[in-house]
Every structure is written in C-alpha cells, then in structure tokens.
C-alpha cells in the first residue's frame, strides 16, 4: 500500500469540548482527497495531570478496523490501558524487523507538552496531496532533511504578512497557552 507523508499535529484547547467545525473541515479535506485522518484522539489532562482519552475520527468503519489506534501507539498511550500499549508496542516492534524505529533522542513526549487543566486533539494525517511531490523528489535523488510549521511572526520579515496580521494569527495560535 502506498501511503503519503504522515504528520502528527497536536492542537491545544482550554476545554475538552471540540466543536463540530473541526470535524467538518477534516471531512471536507478528506472528500477533496487532500488529507486522510489516519487516527485522531481527544485528550483531556485534568489539573492533577491525569489523562482521559477519547477516540475521534472521520474514518469509515473499515478504515478504523484497518488502522487501529495509531496515534496512541505512536505516542505511547494505550487506549485500552497498559495492555493495549504493550500489545501495540510489540506489534510495532515485530513489524519494524531490524529497523531502529525510535530512539530516546528522537522521543517526543506529546502528553507532557499538554498543559494540566487543558485538552488536546491529536491528529495523525496522511497528506495525499504530497504523494506526487514526494515521489518526484525521491526520483530526483532528494530526501527530507527537516520540516516544521513556521510561526506567523517569522513571516513578517519575508513580507508574507504585515505585523498586524502576524500578531493576530500568533494570538490565535497561542491563545490557550497564555490562559493556562
């Protein structure tokens, strides 16, 4: 099976109440074949740091069965408790064969980054739009060195946004961080 580039996006929210507009937009992207939601989790971290997880996704029943709980396995969070985590880790290790999948240096403690008393949506997205580009890069001998989202504040210096536009977007992106 050919799969497009996959990205884990962690979005913070002040409350564990996700609005239908987000699911609707993901569905629109899916229908346009731009992205596929491989898996999605809603995580609520109470003020003591205890974590509650709810699976949310716009996958069909067949896709959900095929893909299982990939975000949980990726970040070391067992939806079905420790047994689910161990089973997922064992299955992943078996599939990896002799490939070193994760190292301690590369570890990303997603749950640690979620502030206590807040919520997060963890979206594992496959970027369908990027498959032809990725294949063309590989055919030319190219490879990924790094990637990341750029802050709106950094876009001022290259003239893509005005200072006012950048401040507004930055405030939108970081509003919950200031509230916690």
Low-confidence ranges of the chain (pLDDT < 70): 1, 19, 56-108, 176-180
- What pLDDT was estimated at residue 109? 76
Closest CA to 9 of 115, 174, 122, 112: 122
Hey, is 54 helix, strand or coil? strand
The Cα–Cα gap between 5 and 144 comes to 11
136 close to 16: Cβ distance less than 8 angstroms = no
Nearest by Cα to 138 from 4, 1, 6: 4
Per residue in 24-61, pLDDT (tens digit) is: 888 888 889 898 888 888 889 999 998 888 776 555 66
The pLDDT score that the predictor gives to residue 112 is 85
User: What are the structure tokens assigned to 100, written together?
Assistant: 């070193």
Tokens 């609005």 found at: 19
DSSP letter at 118 equals E
As given in the structure block, the two tokens for residue 154 are 């950094």
* pLDDT at site 95: 52
**What is the pLDDT at residue 162?**
93
Q: What is the pLDDT of residue 163?
A: 92
Alpha carbon distance, N-terminus to C-terminus of the chain: 42
- Measure CA 178 to chain center: 22
pLDDT of residue 22: 81
């Amino acid at each position: 099976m050919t799969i497009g580039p996959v990205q884990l996006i962690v979005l913070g929210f002040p409350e564990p109440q996700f609005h239908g507009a987000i699911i609707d937009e993901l569905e629109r992207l899916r229908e346009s074949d731009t992205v596929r939601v491989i898996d999605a989790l809603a995580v609520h971290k109470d003020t003591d740091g205890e974590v509650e997880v709810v699976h949310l996704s716009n996958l069909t029943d067949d896709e959900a069965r095929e893909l299982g709980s990939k975000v949980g396995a990726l970040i070391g969070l067992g939806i079905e408790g420790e047994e689910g985590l161990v089973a997922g880790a064992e299955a992943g290790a078996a599939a990896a064969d002799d490939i070193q999948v994760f190292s301690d240096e590369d570890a990303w403690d997603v749950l640690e980054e979620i502030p206590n008393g807040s919520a997060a949506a963890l979206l594992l997205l496959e970027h369908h739009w990027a498959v032809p580009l990725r294949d063309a890069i590989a055919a030319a001998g190219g490879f990924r060195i790094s990637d990341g989202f750029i802050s709106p504040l950094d876009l001022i210096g290259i003239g893509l946004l005005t200072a006012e536009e950048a401040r507004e977007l930055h405030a939108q992106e970081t509003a919950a961080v200031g509230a916690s």
